[in-house]
Structures are given as structure tokens and as C-alpha cells.
């Protein structure tokens, strides 16, 4: 009787231990020599015995079923073939063995399945299959528990996203760290898209030309939707705070989602074109976005009058730029006034520090309380005190509260670190706004408009706007000539 040897491993541990492929094959070859079985074929592969998709194993089954003579299928143990008692491929082999078409030899189990086996031996085989299934289920449960524990600790279980990298430490454990160059590209990508000056295609073109990133269009869209960059990982639809340094703030991420949703509503005709004021200015009569259009070498903006005719004017881009430039010019503050304001800010800073400490203590206590509640919830789940659905419901509620608190703490830390710097920056920006606007590229102009103005609209031939706080106070002082005393 000729023999086909089947050796299989499914884990790195088995490859390195006594169940390695060479170890299994050596035992099977020795068994065949003792039995006098000529070896027809040796099949060894690395696949899970519990998977429905076992390509190599299916090939072997097809080969076995095509044999006209009775052959011996030699495996080390039952679990080398399957750990699934419902596997139809195994039941097919079992039935053929009982009908004398082939024999199943499980060397280390000391069991042979053929047409002559007794009821006791059949029962023993079913027990072995059941034990293999139990072993597989136990491994699966342990893996799930270990993975859930890692997720609760904020550990990412897969390949690190762009901007981070997987590393192996000296002690053999793995970790994820920030890849500094890629991280800067991520920050720039989110910041540029948040300006609203770029469609996905335009941003991708800019990133490829400046940094050579190999992203396809779909990958960039997914990247901009990935909350991992502000501290949240999503696994099987569940959100978990991760323990790695975020590359962007939640506020920036939310701004990008807002811009993306607006882009999705834009007509295809203009969505990819680099017009300076596209999507920034609305019609003062009907509140629709005014449309950019090229005509005889010039760019004009006009209302489509979709809601009805109202004698809408066509404005040249240069005319809009001139009117917006005038408001930035009004923001210039005399140098002596700037020095006085900075001096007053120094005095106010200490008062703010006191308030900061009180708020930080409050939010930190809430953070610890929520974290403890999450830990207790997990223990209740392990004890069986609550069902899986109850755990998911309470977990999501506590998790959302924790994200909110973490965001407040992050904002508080940033405001404390940047309060004085930001105040000086506002003054500096106001003084340089006109110069920056006149000399900047399209995306920088759009950033300035979004930062300093809101509700920009066109009525007849005039560009109207509201000035963002605190820059409106600077404009008011300039208009009333308060700088002069």
C-alpha cells in the first residue's frame, strides 16, 4: 500500500517546537518504513486546520480522491488534518476509509481508520476530533482575550499606519513609534486639506510633487478619515483610545471631516479646479456659493441664480482680492500699542494659571474615575455579571465620555502652553496680515480668510464679511481711530 504523508503547522510556536514540519515528516517516514509503505507524495504546508479557506489542503484532497488504488493517508495526529468536526472534507475521507477506499493513519495517536475498525475505535476517533475542536476553541478564546486586553491598554495589533512604524525592542517585544518624516507629511496633509483650498486630487498632486508619496486617490481619502492620527483606533467597529503620540489634534481632524463633507456636495465640474475663492464666498441674496468661471483669460465669480433671477453681478477675481486686501490693511496696530498690550498680557497670565490648575484637577479626577469604571466593567464581563450586549452598551457610553474628557484636557494643556504665545501671535498676525495676503499663494490666502473672516458674501459688486474674534476688536479700534488716543 502506497502512502501520502501530510504535515501541517499553523503557528510560529509549532514551527519552532516538536511539531515543526521536519519533525512531523521524520516521524511519518519512520512509520512508513516500519509498515513497508512506499511513499507516493509528501505534502507539508502552513495553514490553519480551522480555516474554511485551505487552498493547499484542498489540492491534496483532490489528489487523494483521484487515486484508483487503496492508499494510506499518514498524519502525525488528528489535529494535523482538522480541528473542525463539521469539516465536510474530513467526513469525506472518513467515509472512504470505512468503505475500504483508503486508510487514515494517525501516527502519534496510534490510531488507524479503515473498514475493519470497531465501534470503540470509531468512538475514540470522534473523541479525538472533539478534543481537537476543544483545543482550537480554547486557543481562539485565549487569543481573543489577549487581543481585547491589548486593545484596552491602547495597543494597536496590526501594521502601523503611515506616520508611525513597527519596531522590535531588545527584549523581543514589539512597539509602535512615530516615524518623524512621515509624521510631518501627515500633519501637513491634514493642515492643507483643512484650508478648503484643495480637492483630494489637487492635494495628492501637491504631496506627490513635494514629497513623492505613492498614495493612490482612495488611500488619501481613507487617511484623512483615519481617527488614529488624533488618538483613536477602530477595531471591528469599536473605538479604543490608543497609547501612541497623536500626530494631529481632534479639532483639526474634525475640521477636515467638515471640509470633506462640503467637497462631497460640490458639483463635479468645479470640484478639482484651483480657484482661489472656490467655496469661500456666498451670494448675499440667495445664500448659494458663488461659482468661479474662466472667461477670455480672466476668472470671474458669479451666482448661478438657481433659486431665481436677481440680477447677479459677475466679479473679477482681482476685484475680490482688492476688497479683501483692504480689510487686512486695517488690522495694522501701532508698535507702541502692541508693546502695551503685551505688558498687560504678562499680568493677566498669572490669573489664568490659577484657573488652569483648578480646571485641570477637575478633569483629571473625572478621567481617573471613568478609567476605573471601564476597568470594573471589564471585570464584570469576565465574571459573567453582565452580558456581551450590556458590556458593549456601557463600554461605548463610558468610552465616549472618556474621549470628551481627554479632549478637554488636551485643549486645556494646549491653551495653557500657548496662551501667551498665541496672544502675541494674534498681534503679530494682525500687523502682517496685509503683507501676507498680498504675497501668499492660493492656499495661504484661503487660510488667512478662514482664520480672520467669516460669512464672506457678495452683494452687487461689494464683498461683505464678518471679522472673527478677536480681530474684530482690532478693526473696530482702527475704524474709530482709538489707536490715536
pLDDT at residue 13, rounded to an integer: 45
pLDDT at site 12: 46
Report which secondary-structure segment, H or E, holds 425.
Answer: helix 388-439
Q: What is the pLDDT of residue 78?
A: 80
> What domains are there in the chain, each with its CATH number?
2-145 (3.40.50.1390), 153-274 (3.90.1750.20), 335-479 (no CATH)
Contact call for residues 465 and 455 (beta carbons, < 8 A): yes
What pLDDT does 402 receive? 81
**H/E run at residue 448:** helix 442-452
Question: What are the angstrom distances between the C-alpha of 214 and each of 183, 204, 205, 310?
Answer: 15, 9, 10, 47
Per-residue model confidence as pLDDT tens digits over 80-114: 676 554 567 778 888 899 999 999 998 888 889 99
Its pTM surpasses 0.75: no
Q: Extract the residue ranges of the chain whose pLDDT is less than 70.
A: 10-19, 47-54, 80, 82-87, 132-143, 197, 263-274, 341-356, 410-426, 429, 478-485
Alpha helices in 155-272 (DSSP H): 180-194, 200-211, 217-224, 250-265, 268-271
Model pLDDT, residue 137: 67
- CA atoms lying within 13 Å on the CB side of residue 259: 26
Going 404 to 406 to 410 to 415, the CA torsion angle's sign is: positive
Residue 165: per-residue pLDDT: 94
DSSP string, 15-84: HHSTTSHHHHHHHHHHHHHHHTPPEEEEEEEE--TT-S--HHHHHHHHHHHT-SS-EEEEESSGGGT-S-
Cβ neighbour number for residue 62 with a 10 Å cutoff: 10
In angstroms, the CA 464 to CA 142 distance is: 64
Amino acid at each position: 500500500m502506497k502512502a501520502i504523508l501530510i504535515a501541517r503547522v499553523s503557528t510560529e510556536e509549532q514551527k519552532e517546537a516538536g511539531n515543526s514540519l521536519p519533525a512531523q515528516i521524520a516521524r511519518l517516514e519512520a512509520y512508513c518504513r516500519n509498515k513497508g509503505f512506499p511513499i507516493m507524495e509528501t505534502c507539508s504546508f502552513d495553514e490553519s486546520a480551522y480555516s474554511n479557506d485551505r487552498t493547499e489542503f484542498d489540492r491534496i484532497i483532490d489528489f487523494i480522491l483521484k487515486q484508483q488504488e487503496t492508499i494510506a493517508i499518514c498524519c502525525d495526529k488528528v489535529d494535523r488534518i482538522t480541528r473542525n468536526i463539521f469539516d465536510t472534507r474530513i467526513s469525506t475521507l472518513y467515509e472512504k476509509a470505512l468503505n475500504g477506499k483508503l486508510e487514515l493513519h494517525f501516527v502519534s495517536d496510534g490510531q488507524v481508520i479503515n473498514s475493519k475498525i470497531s465501534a470503540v475505535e470509531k468512538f475514540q476517533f470522534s473523541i479525538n476530533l472533539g478534543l481537537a475542536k476543544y483545543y482550537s476553541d480554547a486557543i481562539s478564546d485565549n487569543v481573543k482575550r489577549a487581543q481585547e486586553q491589548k486593545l484596552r491598554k491602547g495597543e494597536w495589533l496590526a501594521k502601523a499606519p503611515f506616520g508611525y512604524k513597527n519596531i522590535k525592542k531588545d527584549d523581543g517585544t514589539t512597539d509602535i513609534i512615530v516615524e518623524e518624516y512621515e509624521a510631518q507629511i501627515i500633519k501637513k496633509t491634514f493642515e492643507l486639506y483643512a484650508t478648503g483650498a484643495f480637492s483630494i486630487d489637487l492635494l495628492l498632486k501637491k504631496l506627490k510633487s513635494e514629497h513623492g508619496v505613492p498614495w493612490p486617490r482612495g488611500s488619501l481619502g481613507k487617511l484623512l478619515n483615519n481617527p488614529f492620527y488624533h488618538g483613536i483606533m477602530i477595531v471591528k467597529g469599536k473605538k479604543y483610545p490608543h497609547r501612541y503620540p497623536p500626530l494631529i489634534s481632534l479639532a483639526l481632524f474634525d475640521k477636515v471631516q467638515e471640509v470633506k463633507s462640503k467637497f462631497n456636495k460640490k458639483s463635479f465640474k468645479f470640484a478639482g479646479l484651483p480657484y482661489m475663492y472656490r467655496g469661500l464666498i456666498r451670494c448675499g441674496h440667495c445664500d448659494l456659493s458663488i461659482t468661479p468661471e474662466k472667461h477670455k483669460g480672466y476668472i470671474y465669480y458669479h451666482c448661478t441664480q438657481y433659486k431665481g433671477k436677481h440680477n447677479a453681478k459677475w466679479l473679477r477675481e482681482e476685484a475680490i482680492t482688492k476688497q479683501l486686501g483692504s480689510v487686512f490693511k486695517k488690522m495694522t496696530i501701532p508698535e507702541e500699542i502692541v508693546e502695551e498690550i503685551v505688558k498687560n498680557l504678562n499680568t493677566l497670565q498669572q490669573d489664568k494659571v490659577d484657573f488652569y490648575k483648578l480646571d485641570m484637577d477637575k478633569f483629571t479626577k473625572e478621567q481617573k474615575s471613568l478609567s476605573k469604571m471601564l476597568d470594573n466593567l471589564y471585570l464584570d464581563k469576565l465574571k459573567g455579571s453582565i452580558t456581551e450586549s450590556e458590556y458593549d452598551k456601557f463600554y461605548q457610553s463610558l468610552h465616549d465620555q472618556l474621549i470628551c474628557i481627554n479632549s478637554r484636557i488636551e485643549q486645556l494643556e494646549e491653551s495653557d502652553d500657548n496662551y501667551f504665545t498665541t496672544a502675541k501671535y494674534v498681534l503679530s498676525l494682525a500687523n502682517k496680515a496685509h503683507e501676507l495676503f498680498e504675497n501668499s499663494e492660493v492656499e495661504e490666502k484661503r487660510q488667512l480668510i478662514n482664520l480672520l473672516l467669516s460669512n464672506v458674501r457678495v452683494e452687487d459688486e461689494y464683498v461683505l464679511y464678518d471679522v472673527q474674534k478677536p480681530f474684530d476688536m482690532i478693526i473696530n479700534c482702527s475704524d474709530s481711530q482709538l489707536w490715536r488716543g
